[in-house]
Amino acid sequence: ASDDEAVPPPPPQEEDDEVVPPPPAAAAYQFNFNPPPPQPHLAAAAAADPNNMDFANLNPSEINAQFLSLLPPCIHPRLDKLKSLSEDRTKLLEQYLVERAELEQKYNGLMKPLYEMRRDVVTGKCDGDIASNDTTGASNGADQQEVKGIPQFWACAMGHIDLLAELITEEDVDCMEHLVDVTCDDFADGSGFEIHFHFSPNDFFTNSVLTKRYEVPNLLTEDEPMLQSVTGTDIHWK
């Protein structure tokens, strides 16, 4: 076709091809904190229902009695059986806690000599024995004889525990250079424990031992530990 020929107009748009505008955006949801309007017909219907229970004005025993009154009588003996089973489990759990506390005491006694040996290694009391049994020759260097035990052992050990590291300040590190041992004594009934911090003579306080006592009644149960009280030694600062 030549350039002089007329370009045909576009075909007319049918009604079905009309562009439909998008729906309006939904309004942002808003919380309504206002109390709902009173509905007298619902209140009257609830008052007329003999099974309606106002739990807000009942104590636990009354709520339990109301609930049982709604159940078929044949179910009551079965619930009594479940209650009896629960009571038997409680008795076994009490026996378990006693035996577990005794087991904790037994193995704490067995591990105590290991903790005492750890203290002697940290404070340097075992340097000679360890050096005599050292087959690598690392303990025979002249520079090694000037180092006694493991300096700042407890400061480094506690610093690697995230929960404790957040609480340790630079001033605490200076004081912890004199910390020679940390011991723990569990209560005989398993309801808590005491932690003892043993210090060598220092320029900060006169106490040789600082004690922290924790009472946790449910320490040996499966529940989350519930801290009842914490008491500590009075520090006699210099």
Of 233, 188, 183, nearest to 212 by C-alpha is: 233
Summarize the confidence of residues 149-178 as an average pLDDT.
Answer: 91
Q: What's the CA angle centered on 166, arms 163 and 172, to 5 degrees?
A: 115
pTM of the model: 0.66
146 exposed, middle or buried (CB, 10 Å; 0-12, 13-18, 19+)? exposed
Q: Is the pLDDT of residue 152 over 60?
A: yes
Which tens digits make up the pLDDT trace of 21-30? 666 655 554 5
pLDDT at residue 29, rounded to an integer: 47
Summarize the confidence of residues 49-56 as an average pLDDT.
Answer: 56
